[in-house]
Amino acid sequence: MSDIIRLLPDHVANQIAAGEVIQRPASAVKELLENAIDAGATQIKLYLKDAGRTLVQVVDNGIGMSPTDARLAFERHATSKIRSADDLFTLHTKGFRGEALASIASVAQVELLTCQQGQEVGTMLRIEGNKITEQQPVVTQKGTSIAMKHLFFNVPARRNFLKSDTVEMRHILDEFHRVALAHPDLQFSLFHNDVEQFALPATTLRKRIVQLFGQRLEEQLVPVEEQTELLSIRGFISKNAYRKNKVLQFFMVNQRFIKNRYLHHAVVSAFEGLLKEGEQPEYFLYLEIDPKHIDINIHPTKTEIKFDNDQAIYALLRSAIKHSLGQFHVLPSIDFSLDEQNEVPYSYKDKEAQTPVYHVDRNFNPFKMETPIPEAPKSQVSFSHRESPAPAWEQLYTGIPSKANAPSEQEPTSAPFELFPQESKMQTNLYFQKKYLITFLRDKVLFVHVARAHQRVLYERFRKSILQGHSLSQSLLFPLEFEYSPSEVLEITPLLPELRNAGFMIEIEGNTVRFTGLPPMIKESQVQAFLYELLERASEDIPQEVFSQEEMLAKILAKSLAIKAGQPLSGEEQEQLVYDLFSCEEPQLSPFGKKIYTELTVNELESRL
């Protein structure tokens, strides 16, 4: 039998390695930015075109490379960080495997310009598919510039797996945020399609967080600091800006972003009692630990590490966060959904309790004979009460008929007692627990979930107006303005056409989102909640299908503007909601696939009684 095991060709092995390291443009961005940091750069610029599909270029002012180093840098397992196996456990740099540039060169067209400090002439290198096509000396600025063009040009099957520009740009921003947060002392810039999106000067950690994620965090950040022999902890947690996703959760270990569920659980347990169901805390935590206590060589992207004493780190981290929460008096927010009838009025706050006083009429005799009361007609039921004797002046008018006291000809002298109200007074709907609506439909009783029913009604209205491309809009006397971070503005910008079709008169200027008009059914107080929901949903990877943007926007509008549990409804509003629900195309399910109502037939009711 012939031999069947063979060595892979170098170009095939390189493409397999590239599949582990370079999954999308964001992977290349991460590797190139980390190489620039390892080169000692203090100023790093990132240039992108078409969300990295056409161009990813990183320009730094680092130490540069010699002609020989420039050529060797694109060979597999070529690195300046490792000399022996022991060096793997004393790492202080970002990259060390020597696979990043080789992987990038195997699936893209690369152009390298580099010049060492103190040299007048640098090196230009062009590579296509891991083959050097040109190398020559050039005059260029000090430092290094690496441009990756046409990613996956030689692997079209891999290119087909890339998502839309919006999704790919979101992944690039995630990597950019992680690197910029890990090094607030460095200057970063980001340009996309020749437009500057970020200009981050060297600053403190707190200011870097605000630069990246907006002014809303300025007043929310609570410092965390703990110094021990095992590790040092510093950073910030957000005291009440809790989200339902994990967008703003950052762990940095020795200035390297990591993901660790065990440490995340330590943070969540420290927030016990402060988080509602489904909420996630926001944190930016930096851990400094001796490299010999961690192993970062367990994942190709180096985002997962192992600790040799993770239980002690868990306890220290949880204790440090709980200490900060207590030190800065972070308490649960006031619940404004409580029933006002159960609240003590503010005017009684400082009043002392008083002992009730009882007044007893000692002259009252229940057996004393009084003037008999005329009997009422037997055909009617009447109620009477003992009246005190009339004053002396009223006795002068005894026997004189009075129009005020005379019985009306149309009304009986005493109204009969009604056991049941009139048919016209019957209420057809019952608003139970301010959450469910109980109504009738032929021989069935329907139990309707009010919030989901209203979501369905709003969803179909907004979706119709967005798809038709026109909707009513009501101009605002005073425009609404909201400040957001550059990354949040990038999330909103692709949705501007759909927002305008829905009736929003919206403009974006810098980091300011300005509303000059709103759809008639939206209140000004609801706009910020809607934008919050929009950013929450936009941060998720949504499949790009027909009308996906329109569908997503209609769902977000319906969810943020729908009736919430505990909100009172008048009888007319209840009836209108039921009518609108059963006028929808799909009245049984909410826009998010949840059941809106359940029914109980007469036979089912009788079987239970």
Same fold across 10-202 and 209-327: no
Higher-confidence residue of 5 and 454: namely 454
Q: For 180-238, what is each residue's pLDDT tens digit?
A: 999 999 999 999 999 898 999 999 999 999 988 888 788 889 999 999 988 999 999 98
Domain range summary for the chain, segments of one domain joined by + = 10-202, 209-327, 436-599
pLDDT of residue 32: 92
Question: Higher pLDDT residue, 44 or 305?
Answer: 44
Using the CB atoms, write b or e for 529-543: b if 16+ within 10 Å: ebbebbbbbbbeebe
- Characterise 204 by phi-psi region: left (phi > 0), alpha (psi -120 to 50), beta (else): beta
Q: Is the pLDDT of residue 11 over 90?
A: no
Residue 354 scores a pLDDT above 70: yes
pLDDT recorded at residue 382: 40
- Is residue 216 within 8 A of residue 67, CB to CB? The reply is no
Write down the pLDDT at residue 372.
56
pLDDT, average across residues 88-105:
68
Mean pLDDT for all residues in the chain: 79
pLDDT of residue 122: 93
More reliable by pLDDT, 125 or 566: 125
pLDDT tens profile 414-465:
433 333 333 333 446 777 777 888 887 777 888 889 889 998 998 888 888 8
Contact 142, 125 (CB under 8 A): no
**Of the ranges 310-314, 316-320, 537-541, which one carries the lowest mean pLDDT score?**
537-541
pLDDT band at residue 163, thresholds of 50, 70 and 90?
A: confident
pLDDT, residue 236, reads: 94
Q: What are phi and psi of 497, to 5 degrees?
A: -60, -45
- Asked if 518 and 506 count as a contact pair (C-beta separation under 8 A), the reply is no
Q: Sign of torsion, CA 201 202 207 211?
A: positive
Q: What are phi and psi of 143, to 5 degrees?
A: 115, -155
Residue 544 has pLDDT above 80, yes or no: no
The pLDDT value recorded for residue 43 is 95
Calpha distance 411→367 (Å, rounded): 35
* Secondary structure class of 189 (helix, strand, coil): strand
Q: Are strands 143-149 and 109-115 parallel, antiparallel or unpaired?
A: antiparallel
Percentage of the chain with pLDDT > 70? Answer: 76
CA 168 to CA 170: how far, in whole Å?
5
Report residue 397's pLDDT band, with 50, 70 and 90 as the boundaries.
Answer: very low
Between the CA atoms of 516, 520, 522 and 527, what dihedral angle is there, to the nearest 10 degrees? -10
Taking only the tens place, the pLDDT of each residue in 132-161 is: 899 999 999 999 999 999 988 888 888 888
For residue range 103-118, list pLDDT tens digits in order: 888 889 999 999 998 8
Among 18, 56, 57, 61, residue whose Cα is nearest residue 37: 61
* pLDDT at residue 413, as a whole number: 40
Least confident of 269-273, 286-290, 312-316: 269-273
Would you say residue 525 has pLDDT above 70? yes
Mean pLDDT of 502-513: 87
Tokens standing for residue 565: 């549990």
Annotation: CATH topology of 209-327: Ribosomal Protein S5; domain 2 (3.30.230)
Res 109: pLDDT: 92
546: confidence class by pLDDT, cuts 50, 70, 90: very low
Give Rg (Cα) of the chain: 36
Mean pLDDT is lowest, of 264-268, 307-311, 435-439, 440-444, for: 440-444
CB 66 within 8 A of CB 116: yes
Report whether 452 contacts 587 (CB < 8 A).
no
- Looking at residues 300-321, what average pLDDT do you find? 84
Could you tell me the pLDDT band of residue 408, with boundaries at 50, 70 and 90?
A: very low
Which CATH number fits the domain 10-202, given the four candidates 3.30.565.10, 3.40.190.10, 3.30.1300.10, 2.70.98.10? 3.30.565.10
DSSP state string for 255-311: S-EE--HHHHHHHHHHTTTT--TT-B--EEEEEEE-GGGEE-TTSTTS---EETTHH
What's residue 418's pLDDT?
Answer: 37
Average pLDDT of the residues in 471-494: 84
CATH match for 436-599 among 2.120.10.30, 3.30.1370.100, 2.40.160.100, 3.40.640.10: 3.30.1370.100
Residue 564, pLDDT > 70, answer yes
User: Nearest CA to 50 among 126, 159, 129?
Assistant: 159
Task: Kindly report, residue by residue over 12-26, the tens digit of the pLDDT.
Answer: 776 666 656 788 899
pLDDT at site 512: 87
Q: What percentage of the chain has pLDDT greater than the value 90?
A: 24
Q: Looking at residues 516-526, what average pLDDT do you find?
A: 85
The pLDDT confidence band at residue 381, using thresholds 50, 70 and 90, is very low
pLDDT per residue as tens digits for the range 20-79: 678 889 999 998 999 899 889 999 999 999 999 999 999 999 999 999 888 888 887 666
Distances (CA, A) of 411 to 24, 117, 208, 408, 423: 86, 108, 81, 5, 20
